[in-house]
Structure 1
Amino acid sequence: MDDLSHNFVFVYRARLHLPFDPGNRYSVPYLWGMTGIGVNAERINPASLHAWADLWQPRFHRALLLPNDMREVFHMAMLVLGLPVNSTDPAHIEAAYLKLRELMPNVRLFSSDAPQVLFITGEVDAGMIWNGVAYLAGREAPAIRFVQPAEGPLLWMDNLAVLKNAAHPDEAHTLIDYLLRPEVARLISETVGYATPNAAAVAILPPEIRNDPVIYPPADVLERGEYQVDLGEAIGQYTDYWERLKAGQ
């Protein structure tokens, strides 16, 4: 992509060549972030939450929010079990499913739509949450906190790409180049609460954002995190267990 995007040079090298697109043949990093634990400090002491495994505690009966996202939920279970998060081993997938079945009494609902509202209104006490959502929710309700779990966060990257059959590929590349301008990338990051992979944009962010560990976590946290990759045919087994889990089976 860098031959068609002058501003591609601003992207951190550490945010390139990730497992889902080695060499960035198909994608340009747009925003990145992590999934961790959200908690309402008025109901639960954040200092008492250290790990994903803590969500299995009986005190969270019917109090947790999980995203309506199969990969993220199984990713968490794999971490708790100490298994490879992108495992395609049938035994590992089954073990994660059985572990999640143990969690179900604590789950109030699965939702990925405006999860911050559920925390702010007190409908849930804790659960999985994206760091940007937690950051913005904390602006409105300071009791909403973000915990980086000991087993490691779930890392992800939102990317820009051009469809193979795009009607106007040149214009698409022009848009991508515009979004990579440091001043534009800075504005986007400030507005949505997620980290920009644009090094020049980070340099001009307000210090209170650039130095906020919820948005820009320290290196030791990132070292514990992992990205998801394509699972091939194993996705069928994941999907089967996911449907059974949500059906209460």
Structure 2
Amino acid sequence: MIGTLRVWAGALCAGVVMLVGCSDKAPEQVLYFYNWSEYMPQSVLDDFRKETGIRVVYTTYDSNEAMYARLRLLDSSNAYDLAVPSTYYVSKMRAEGLLQPIDRSRLTHFEQLDPHLVDQAYDPGSQYSVPYLWGTTGMAVNTAVIDAGSVDGWADLWRPELKGRVLLTNDVREVFHLGLRVLGYSGNSTDEAEIAAAYQKLKTLLPSVRAFNSDAPRMPFLEGEADIGVIWNGELVMAQEDMPALQYLYPKEGAVVWVDSFVIPKNARNADAAHQFIDFALRPEIAARISEEIGYATPNLVARDLLPDAVRNNPASYPTDADLEQAEFQTDVGEALLVYERYWELLKAGK
């Protein structure tokens, strides 16, 4: 009986070994990446998978508000591993405990980043964010229809002959920035009276507004629906490939300057893969490819030197000091954001 048991046990062990041998392939690693629309070349995601074996599940949003609201709702069973909030939302999410620290020892190219874009007030010590791309929000002008010399600032959007031809982004802070700056206030105002005044000013612009678009702001210009309006510099650079007459303007009242950064949500399922992807994207040759294809400026100084002269010297992507003289970085406005959002909803509702 004992011998029979030994034979049965040996056969069972052999079967277990066979089963293990048949399934010794490690489970596929997945990185859940939440990013802006059209903000990462597919070729970069493909090359990352080829090198690491990590598959990227890529989901997009069209505003910081949408990104923030979704990340707050998710738990560790369905969380994202990587996201790309803009400047002031890094500060907000950090303060609310929605982010985990980034292990800089795992980022071999961090020291190549422009020192002007790290260790900023929105993330002192760059503990929770790593710059991905930076840029500006300014004006697009279709010079085939509008004399470029006749336009120099946000206030021109109110010209009566432009009724129905103006594009705004679907972004509360950017739209209120232009309203505030036209009135002589800071785009980072926390004064409710100033925000209310900007709302009243923006209400008078509504008859001229063709659309609010943050999915692909260049498309209303390419489709002939808009001739002037608010746009991100990289979107304009992409649009110029098909529409050379579209020009980028730094408004005299001041453009918006922002940095979009990689962050790892606190409840990320695969923080290890997130670190690997950040380090991959920071490689000079990868960062240069992203900048050239997407149209926004790379924060990697070594990568800039790899760019073609036509890209590196394009003021739409890489502004001069004079271009940014009146520009403002977006900052966290704290509880005043609720005031902005209240007036934003009224504005969008046409009230």
Instruction: Output the TM-score relative to the length of structure 1.
Output: 0.96
Aligned counterpart for 2:299 among listed residues 189, 194, 197: 197
Which protein shows a greater Rg? 2
- State how 1:74-223 maps to structure 2 within 5 Å: 74-223=176-325
**What's the counterpart of residue 36 of structure 1?**
138
How far apart are the structure 1 equivalents of 2:116 and 2:325? 12
Structure 1 residue 15: deviation in Å? Answer: 1.1
Alignment match of 1:64 (pick from 163, 166, 185): 166
Moved more, 33-42 or 113-122: 113-122
Determine the structure 2 residue equivalent to 1:53.
Answer: 155
- Number of residues of Structure 1 aligned to a counterpart in Structure 2: 249
3-state DSSP class of the match of 2:322?
helix
Q: Deviations over 1:104-161 (max 9, x none)?
A: 1211221222221210121111100111111111111111111111111111111111
Query: Which residue is 1:241 aligned to?
Result: 343
Task: Tell me the residue number matched to 2:107.
Answer: 5
Q: Which has the higher contact order (CA 8 A, sep 6+)?
A: 1
Is the alpha carbon distance of 1:222 and 1:87 closer, same or farther for their aligned partners in structure 2, counting shifts above 3 Å? same
The one-letter code of the counterpart of 2:110 is: F
**Counterpart-to-counterpart distance in 2, 1:19 and 1:58:** 40
Q: CA deviation at 1:229?
A: 2.0
Q: Which amino acid aligns with 2:177?
A: H
Pair 1:225 & 2:298 matched: no
**Fraction of identical pairs, as percent:** 48
Structure 2, unpaired ranges of 5+: 1-101
Structure 1 Cα separation of the partners of residues 128 and 297 of structure 2: 21
For residues 39-64 of structure 1, give each alpha carbon's deviation from its aligned partner in whole angstroms, at most 9, with x where no partner exists.
11111111111011111111211110
Q: Which runs of 5+ in 1 are unaligned?
A: none
Secondary structure in structure 2 of the residue aligned to 1:156: strand
CA distance in 2, matches of 1:162, 1:248: 37
Question: RMSD of the alignment, in Å?
Answer: 1.3
Q: Once structures 1 and 2 are overlaid, which stretch shifts more, 71-80 or 226-235? A: 226-235
